Amino acid sequence: MPERGIFYLCAMVKEDVLALVDQGLMLPLMEEFYTIQGEGFHKGTAAYFIRVGGCDVGCHWCDVKESWNAETHPPTGIDHIVTNAAKYSDTIVITGGEPLTWDMGPLTDALKAKNLKTHIETSGAYPLSGTWDWICLSPKKNKLPEGIIYEKAHELKMIVYNKHDFIFAEEQAAKTNKDCILYLQPEWSVRDKVVPWIVEYVMQNPKWKVSLQTHKYLNIP
Ligand SMILES: C[S@@+](CC[C@H](N)C(=O)[O-])C[C@H]1O[C@@H](n2cnc3c(N)ncnc32)[C@H](O)[C@@H]1O
Ligand SMILES: Nc1nc2[nH]cc(C(=O)O)c2c(=O)[nH]1
Ligand code: SF4
Ligand SMILES: [Mg+2]
Protein backbone atom coordinates (compact mmCIF):
# COMPACT_ATOMS: atom_id res chain seq x y z
CA MET A 1 0.00 0.00 0.00
CA PRO A 2 1.51 3.37 -0.95
CA GLU A 3 0.30 5.11 2.28
CA ARG A 4 2.11 2.51 4.31
CA GLY A 5 5.27 3.10 2.28
CA ILE A 6 5.11 6.84 2.85
CA PHE A 7 4.52 6.27 6.59
CA TYR A 8 7.66 4.15 6.88
CA LEU A 9 9.65 6.62 4.79
CA CYS A 10 8.61 9.55 7.04
CA ALA A 11 9.39 7.56 10.20
CA MET A 12 12.84 6.72 8.84
CA VAL A 13 13.57 10.30 7.82
CA LYS A 14 12.57 11.61 11.26
CA GLU A 15 14.84 9.08 12.96
CA ASP A 16 17.71 10.03 10.67
CA VAL A 17 17.22 13.72 11.43
CA LEU A 18 17.17 13.06 15.18
CA ALA A 19 20.40 11.05 14.83
CA LEU A 20 22.05 13.95 12.98
CA VAL A 21 20.88 16.42 15.66
CA ASP A 22 22.25 14.04 18.28
CA GLN A 23 25.66 14.17 16.56
CA GLY A 24 25.58 17.96 16.22
CA LEU A 25 25.48 17.72 12.41
CA MET A 26 22.05 19.34 12.35
CA LEU A 27 20.81 21.90 14.88
CA PRO A 28 17.36 23.37 15.62
CA LEU A 29 17.84 26.84 14.14
CA MET A 30 15.60 29.54 15.61
CA GLU A 31 17.02 32.61 13.88
CA GLU A 32 20.22 34.14 12.56
CA PHE A 33 21.01 37.80 12.17
CA TYR A 34 23.86 40.19 11.51
CA THR A 35 23.99 42.83 14.23
CA ILE A 36 26.18 44.53 16.82
CA GLN A 37 27.14 42.48 19.88
CA GLY A 38 25.19 44.38 22.52
CA GLU A 39 26.58 42.90 25.73
CA GLY A 40 29.78 42.25 27.63
CA PHE A 41 33.39 42.57 26.49
CA HIS A 42 32.70 42.67 22.72
CA LYS A 43 29.81 45.13 22.90
CA GLY A 44 29.80 47.52 19.95
CA THR A 45 31.41 45.02 17.58
CA ALA A 46 29.63 43.70 14.49
CA ALA A 47 28.93 39.97 14.63
CA TYR A 48 26.67 37.35 13.05
CA PHE A 49 24.38 35.69 15.60
CA ILE A 50 23.09 32.14 15.31
CA ARG A 51 20.32 31.35 17.79
CA VAL A 52 19.92 27.63 18.38
CA GLY A 53 16.62 26.44 19.88
CA GLY A 54 16.27 24.31 22.99
CA CYS A 55 16.68 25.27 26.67
CA ASP A 56 15.31 23.71 29.84
CA VAL A 57 16.95 26.03 32.37
CA GLY A 58 13.74 28.02 32.80
CA CYS A 59 14.86 31.53 33.86
CA HIS A 60 11.55 33.29 34.64
CA TRP A 61 12.85 36.56 33.13
CA CYS A 62 14.39 35.02 30.00
CA ASP A 63 14.06 37.46 27.09
CA VAL A 64 13.84 34.70 24.47
CA LYS A 65 11.37 32.14 25.81
CA GLU A 66 10.30 31.31 22.21
CA SER A 67 13.66 29.53 21.95
CA TRP A 68 12.95 26.98 24.68
CA ASN A 69 11.05 24.30 22.74
CA ALA A 70 13.55 22.81 20.28
CA GLU A 71 10.76 21.05 18.40
CA THR A 72 9.44 24.37 17.11
CA HIS A 73 12.72 25.16 15.34
CA PRO A 74 13.68 23.38 12.12
CA PRO A 75 16.65 21.00 12.26
CA THR A 76 19.17 22.64 9.94
CA GLY A 77 22.39 21.22 8.52
CA ILE A 78 25.52 22.87 9.92
CA ASP A 79 27.02 23.25 6.41
CA HIS A 80 24.05 25.39 5.48
CA ILE A 81 24.41 27.45 8.67
CA VAL A 82 28.15 27.99 8.18
CA THR A 83 28.01 28.82 4.46
CA ASN A 84 25.43 31.49 5.19
CA ALA A 85 27.19 32.92 8.27
CA ALA A 86 30.49 33.28 6.39
CA LYS A 87 28.87 35.77 4.01
CA TYR A 88 28.28 38.29 6.79
CA SER A 89 31.06 38.47 9.36
CA ASP A 90 34.31 36.98 10.57
CA THR A 91 32.86 36.75 14.09
CA ILE A 92 30.04 34.32 14.76
CA VAL A 93 28.17 34.35 18.08
CA ILE A 94 26.37 31.12 18.93
CA THR A 95 23.53 31.69 21.36
CA GLY A 96 20.13 30.28 22.13
CA GLY A 97 18.29 28.77 23.82
CA GLU A 98 21.11 26.96 25.51
CA PRO A 99 23.65 26.04 22.81
CA LEU A 100 25.39 23.50 25.06
CA THR A 101 22.20 21.41 24.98
CA TRP A 102 23.78 20.18 21.73
CA ASP A 103 27.21 18.95 20.62
CA MET A 104 28.87 22.15 19.38
CA GLY A 105 31.93 20.24 18.05
CA PRO A 106 30.90 19.85 14.39
CA LEU A 107 29.51 23.40 14.08
CA THR A 108 32.60 25.08 15.56
CA ASP A 109 34.95 22.81 13.54
CA ALA A 110 33.16 23.93 10.37
CA LEU A 111 33.29 27.61 11.40
CA LYS A 112 37.00 27.35 12.25
CA ALA A 113 37.68 25.63 8.92
CA LYS A 114 36.48 28.88 7.32
CA ASN A 115 38.73 30.94 9.63
CA LEU A 116 35.76 32.41 11.47
CA LYS A 117 35.97 33.44 15.12
CA THR A 118 33.64 31.44 17.35
CA HIS A 119 31.96 33.07 20.34
CA ILE A 120 29.40 31.44 22.62
CA GLU A 121 26.76 32.80 24.99
CA THR A 122 26.02 30.05 27.50
CA SER A 123 24.64 29.38 30.95
CA GLY A 124 27.07 26.45 31.22
CA ALA A 125 24.19 24.21 32.26
CA TYR A 126 25.52 21.37 30.08
CA PRO A 127 29.06 20.10 29.44
CA LEU A 128 31.26 22.32 27.33
CA SER A 129 31.59 21.15 23.72
CA GLY A 130 33.08 22.94 20.72
CA THR A 131 36.18 25.06 20.06
CA TRP A 132 35.75 28.66 21.13
CA ASP A 133 37.66 31.91 20.71
CA TRP A 134 35.42 33.55 23.30
CA ILE A 135 33.23 32.05 26.01
CA CYS A 136 30.68 34.23 27.79
CA LEU A 137 29.47 32.28 30.82
CA SER A 138 26.21 33.47 32.38
CA PRO A 139 25.37 31.03 35.22
CA LYS A 140 21.83 30.52 36.42
CA LYS A 141 20.72 29.43 39.90
CA ASN A 142 18.30 26.84 38.47
CA LYS A 143 21.03 24.77 36.80
CA LEU A 144 24.57 25.61 37.83
CA PRO A 145 27.55 25.17 35.52
CA GLU A 146 29.78 22.20 36.13
CA GLY A 147 33.35 21.29 35.24
CA ILE A 148 35.98 23.04 33.18
CA ILE A 149 33.86 25.90 31.85
CA TYR A 150 34.85 28.07 34.84
CA GLU A 151 38.52 27.59 33.83
CA LYS A 152 37.79 28.32 30.17
CA ALA A 153 35.40 31.28 30.42
CA HIS A 154 36.72 34.62 29.09
CA GLU A 155 33.92 36.60 30.67
CA LEU A 156 31.40 35.96 33.43
CA LYS A 157 28.14 37.84 32.93
CA MET A 158 25.85 37.73 35.94
CA ILE A 159 22.27 38.95 35.59
CA VAL A 160 20.98 41.07 38.48
CA TYR A 161 17.27 40.77 39.19
CA ASN A 162 17.33 41.07 43.00
CA LYS A 163 19.81 41.80 45.81
CA HIS A 164 20.65 38.13 46.35
CA ASP A 165 22.06 38.10 42.82
CA PHE A 166 25.13 40.00 44.10
CA ILE A 167 25.86 37.15 46.53
CA PHE A 168 25.32 34.61 43.75
CA ALA A 169 27.59 36.66 41.47
CA GLU A 170 30.43 36.58 44.03
CA GLU A 171 30.01 32.81 44.52
CA GLN A 172 30.28 32.26 40.78
CA ALA A 173 33.19 34.69 40.35
CA ALA A 174 35.13 32.74 43.00
CA LYS A 175 34.99 29.69 40.71
CA THR A 176 36.37 31.40 37.60
CA ASN A 177 39.95 31.67 36.33
CA LYS A 178 42.03 34.72 37.27
CA ASP A 179 41.78 36.33 33.81
CA CYS A 180 38.01 36.05 33.54
CA ILE A 181 36.41 39.49 33.12
CA LEU A 182 33.51 40.01 35.52
CA TYR A 183 30.26 41.73 34.47
CA LEU A 184 27.02 42.59 36.21
CA GLN A 185 24.11 43.07 33.80
CA PRO A 186 20.69 44.36 34.85
CA GLU A 187 17.72 42.13 34.14
CA TRP A 188 15.91 44.20 31.53
CA SER A 189 12.42 44.40 33.07
CA VAL A 190 13.77 45.76 36.38
CA ARG A 191 16.62 47.85 34.97
CA ASP A 192 15.43 51.13 36.45
CA LYS A 193 15.50 49.63 39.95
CA VAL A 194 18.70 47.58 39.73
CA VAL A 195 20.99 49.88 37.71
CA PRO A 196 21.62 52.15 40.75
CA TRP A 197 22.44 49.06 42.85
CA ILE A 198 24.88 47.84 40.19
CA VAL A 199 26.55 51.26 39.85
CA GLU A 200 27.08 51.47 43.61
CA TYR A 201 28.29 47.84 43.79
CA VAL A 202 30.84 48.30 40.98
CA MET A 203 32.24 51.45 42.61
CA GLN A 204 32.62 49.56 45.89
CA ASN A 205 33.91 46.38 44.18
CA PRO A 206 35.87 47.54 41.13
CA LYS A 207 36.84 44.04 40.01
CA TRP A 208 33.32 44.06 38.48
CA LYS A 209 32.24 46.01 35.37
CA VAL A 210 28.77 47.05 34.20
CA SER A 211 27.26 45.36 31.13
CA LEU A 212 24.10 46.77 29.56
CA GLN A 213 21.99 45.23 26.81
CA THR A 214 22.95 48.09 24.50
CA HIS A 215 21.18 46.55 21.47
CA LYS A 216 17.86 47.14 23.25
CA TYR A 217 18.68 50.85 23.61
CA LEU A 218 19.78 50.95 19.95
CA ASN A 219 16.59 49.16 18.84
CA ILE A 220 18.49 46.55 16.88
CA PRO A 221 18.20 42.72 17.10
C1 LIG B 1 19.04 34.48 25.99
S2 LIG B 1 20.54 33.96 26.69
C3 LIG B 1 21.01 32.58 25.64
C4 LIG B 1 22.32 31.93 26.03
C5 LIG B 1 22.30 31.08 27.30
N6 LIG B 1 21.12 30.30 27.44
C7 LIG B 1 22.52 31.94 28.53
O8 LIG B 1 21.59 32.14 29.29
O9 LIG B 1 23.66 32.41 28.70
C10 LIG B 1 21.72 35.23 26.18
C11 LIG B 1 22.15 36.20 27.26
O12 LIG B 1 21.05 37.01 27.61
C13 LIG B 1 20.99 37.13 29.02
N14 LIG B 1 19.60 37.44 29.33
C15 LIG B 1 18.51 36.70 29.07
N16 LIG B 1 17.39 37.31 29.46
C17 LIG B 1 17.77 38.51 29.98
C18 LIG B 1 17.06 39.60 30.57
N19 LIG B 1 15.73 39.58 30.70
N20 LIG B 1 17.77 40.66 30.99
C21 LIG B 1 19.13 40.69 30.87
N22 LIG B 1 19.86 39.70 30.34
C23 LIG B 1 19.19 38.60 29.90
C24 LIG B 1 21.47 35.78 29.50
O25 LIG B 1 21.90 35.77 30.83
C26 LIG B 1 22.62 35.52 28.55
O27 LIG B 1 23.79 36.16 29.01
N1 LIG C 1 22.72 42.54 19.67
C2 LIG C 1 22.62 41.48 20.48
N3 LIG C 1 23.63 41.21 21.33
C4 LIG C 1 23.52 40.10 22.11
N5 LIG C 1 24.42 39.60 22.98
C6 LIG C 1 23.94 38.45 23.49
C7 LIG C 1 22.69 38.19 22.94
C8 LIG C 1 21.96 36.93 23.13
O9 LIG C 1 20.75 36.89 23.07
O10 LIG C 1 22.65 35.94 23.35
C11 LIG C 1 22.40 39.24 22.06
C12 LIG C 1 21.31 39.60 21.21
O13 LIG C 1 20.24 38.97 21.16
N14 LIG C 1 21.49 40.71 20.44
S1 SF4 D 1 19.49 29.72 30.28
FE2 SF4 D 1 19.48 31.38 28.75
S3 SF4 D 1 17.96 30.76 27.16
FE4 SF4 D 1 17.70 29.40 28.91
S5 SF4 D 1 16.03 30.34 30.07
FE6 SF4 D 1 17.94 31.15 30.95
S7 SF4 D 1 18.40 33.04 29.82
FE8 SF4 D 1 16.83 31.92 28.65
MG1 LIG E 1 19.48 38.53 23.55
Whether residue 9 lies inside any domain: the answer is no
Nearest CA to ligand 1 atom 20: 187
> Is position 2 within any domain?
no
- Domain-embedded: residue 97: yes
Give the CATH number for residue 134: 3.20.20.70
Give the separation between CA 5 and CA 125, rounded to whole angstroms: 41
| Residue 32 maps to a domain | yes
Pocket test for ligand 1, best of 30, 42, 61, 121 (most atoms within 8 A of CB): 121
Assigned domain for 194 exists:
yes
**What distance in Å separates the CA atoms of residue 8 and residue 114, rounded to the nearest whole number?**
38
Determine the Cα–Cα distance for residues 204 and 48; give it in Å rounded to an integer.
36
- Region 15-30: mean pLDDT is 97
Tell me if 4 is assigned to some domain: no
Residue 173 lies in a domain: yes
What's the gap in Å between 74 CA and the centre of ligand 3? 19
Find the distance separating the first CA and the last CA of the chain, reported in whole Å. 49
Q: What is the pTM of this model?
A: 0.96
Residue 7 has pLDDT above 80, yes or no: no
Average pLDDT, rounded, for the chain = 96
- Residue 101 covered by a domain: yes
Quick one: CA dihedral 171, 146, 150, 175, positive or negative? positive
Q: Which domain holds residue 183?
A: 24-218
**Predicted interface score ipTM higher than 0.95:** yes
What's the pLDDT at 9?
A: 59
- The alpha carbon dihedral of 126, 44, 202, 154 has a sign of positive
pLDDT > 70 fraction of the chain, expressed in percent and rounded: 95
Alpha carbons 115 and 80: distance in angstroms, whole number? 16
User: What average pLDDT does this structure show over 92-117?
Assistant: 98
Q: Domains in the chain: how many in total?
A: 1
Q: Given pLDDT bands bounded at 50, 70 and 90, which one contains residue 1?
A: very low
